[in-house]
């Protein structure tokens, strides 16, 4: 009998994620490969490691008895790898960012990673923070740069600073120069992002503070499109002013608001086993890019 590290790793991720499919997706292998590794492992150990009934893979008594040893073996393997790779990411990096980060920092970050880490392959996801954190928790991402991240089991969160948010509206609007209140905007067209997003939550909380609800609230998952709509004089939106393109910036103004729109904390969140010097490099690059645009407090 000779157990392999691939078998141990596969066992670990099935136990952690609860299914063969999720483990295959995390390990970037086919589900038949995962099934084959566990079948060989169970044959060599002469016992069943998972109960597959009910649509989930649950550890059997024998599986639970070796889980701690599997954790220790993988921890030791990571320590050995860290000794030889000097804290650098290798292979595939599944990176998720919110759209504000995509506009302000992503092109320069990818260019820098391509130059300094040519062996690193990058798979990108751009989405609202809630979806990125869900994908990270489900091990579909390795690193997410997002707002409102929270530490959870197996996830390390490193705060980068507070992201500036503000009401933006058409420069030609009659409200230009006035302090916006919920009652003043209640009859205006409002463009928002999905409800679970940071911007969606900020707008909802702002109107809740004024005990009113906007009559026209349209959801748009693209900040680029939203900024175009605002510049065209079609409504108001909450976003980071630094994402505005130069060619439309003179048609959009930042409004003071009462109550003010509070900033949100931007963080790098990563799988604990993925955290490395390269993740810290990514965090520093994003901070510098946001500060260059005066988008981080």
Q: What pLDDT, on a 0 to 100 scale, did the predictor assign at position 100?
A: 93
Rounded Cα–Cα distance for residues 165 and 146 (Å): 14
Domains and CATH numbers, the chain: 5-85 (1.10.10.10), 91-163+265-292 (3.40.190.10), 166-255 (3.40.190.10)
Q: How confident is the model at residue 208 (pLDDT cuts 50, 70, 90)?
A: very high
Asked if pLDDT for residue 88 goes beyond 60, the answer is no
Please answer whether residues 27 and 10 qualify as being in contact, where contact means their C-beta atoms are separated by less than 8 angstroms.
yes
Q: Quote the pLDDT of residue 206.
A: 94
Q: Which residue has the higher pLDDT, 153 or 93?
A: 93
- The structure tokens listed for 19 are 């299914």
- Report the alpha-carbon distance of residue 228 to residue 248 in Å, rounded: 7
Pairing of strands 143-147, 91-97: parallel
Q: Within 13 Å of residue 207, how many CA atoms lie on the same side as its CB?
A: 20
Provide the pLDDT for residue 80: 64
Choose the weakest-confidence range: 54-58, 77-81, 126-130.
77-81
C-alpha distances in Å from residue 125, one per residue of 122, 144, 178: 10, 9, 38
| Candidate ranges 72-81, 252-261, 265-274; pick with highest mean pLDDT | 252-261
Kindly report the three-state secondary structure assignment for every residue of 210-277.
CCCCCCEEEECCCHHHHHHHHHCCCCEEEECHHHCCCCCHHHEEEECECCCCCCEEEEEEEEHHHCCH
Contact between residue 135 and residue 195 where contact means Cβ atoms under 8 Å apart: no
pLDDT beyond 90 at 266: yes
CB 142, CB 166: distance < 8 Å: no
pLDDT over threshold 90, residue 21: no
More confident residue, 90 or 93: 93
Indicate if the pLDDT at residue 44 is higher than 90: no
Whether the CB-CB separation of 148 and 265 falls below 8 Å is answered with yes
Per-residue pLDDT, 33? 86
pLDDT in tens, 211-246: 999 998 999 989 999 999 999 999 999 999 999 998
pLDDT at 120: 81
For the stretch 262-278, what's the b/e string if a residue is b when 16 or more beta carbons lie within 10 angstroms of its beta carbon? Answer: ebbbbbbbbbeebbbeb
pLDDT, one tens digit per residue, over 154-181 is 888 999 999 999 999 999 999 999 999 9
Could you say which DSSP state residue 46 is in? T
CB atoms within 10 A of CB 55: 7
């Amino acid at each position: 009998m000779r157990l392999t590290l691939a078998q141990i790793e596969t066992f670990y991720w099935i136990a952690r994620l609860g299914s063969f499919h999720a483990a295959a997706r995390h390990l970037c292998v086919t589900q038949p490969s995962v099934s084959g590794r566990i079948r060989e492992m169970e044959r060599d150990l002469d016992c069943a490691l998972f109960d597959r009934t009910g649509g989930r893979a649950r550890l059997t008594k024998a599986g639970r008895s070796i889980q701690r040893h599997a954790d220790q073996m993988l921890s030791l393997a990571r320590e050995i790898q860290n000794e030889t790779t000097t804290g650098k990411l290798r292979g595939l990096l599944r990176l998720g960012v919110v759209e504000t980060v995509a506009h302000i920092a992503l092109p320069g970050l990818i260019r820098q990673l391509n130059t300094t880490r040519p062996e690193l392959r990058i798979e990108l996801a751009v989405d609202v923070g809630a979806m990125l954190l869900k994908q990270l928790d489900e091990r579909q991402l390795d690193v997410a740069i997002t707002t409102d991240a929270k530490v959870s089991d197996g996830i390390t969160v490193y705060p980068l600073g507070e992201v500036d948010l503000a009401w933006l509206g058409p420069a030609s609007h009659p409200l230009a120069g006035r302090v916006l209140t919920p009652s003043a905007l209640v009859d205006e067209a409002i463009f928002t992002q999905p409800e679970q997003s940071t911007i969606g939550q900020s707008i909802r909380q702002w109107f809740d503070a004024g005990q009113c609800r906007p009559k026209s609230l349209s959801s748009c998952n693209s900040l680029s499109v939203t900024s175009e709509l605002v510049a065209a004089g079609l409504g108001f939106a909450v976003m980071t002013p630094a994402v505005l393109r130069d060619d439309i910036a003179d048609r959009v103004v930042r409004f003071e608001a009462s109550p003010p729109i509070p900033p949100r904390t931007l963080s790098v969140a990563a799988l604990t086993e993925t955290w490395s010097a390269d993740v810290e490099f990514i965090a520093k690059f994003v901070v510098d890019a946001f500060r260059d645009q005066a988008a981080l407090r």
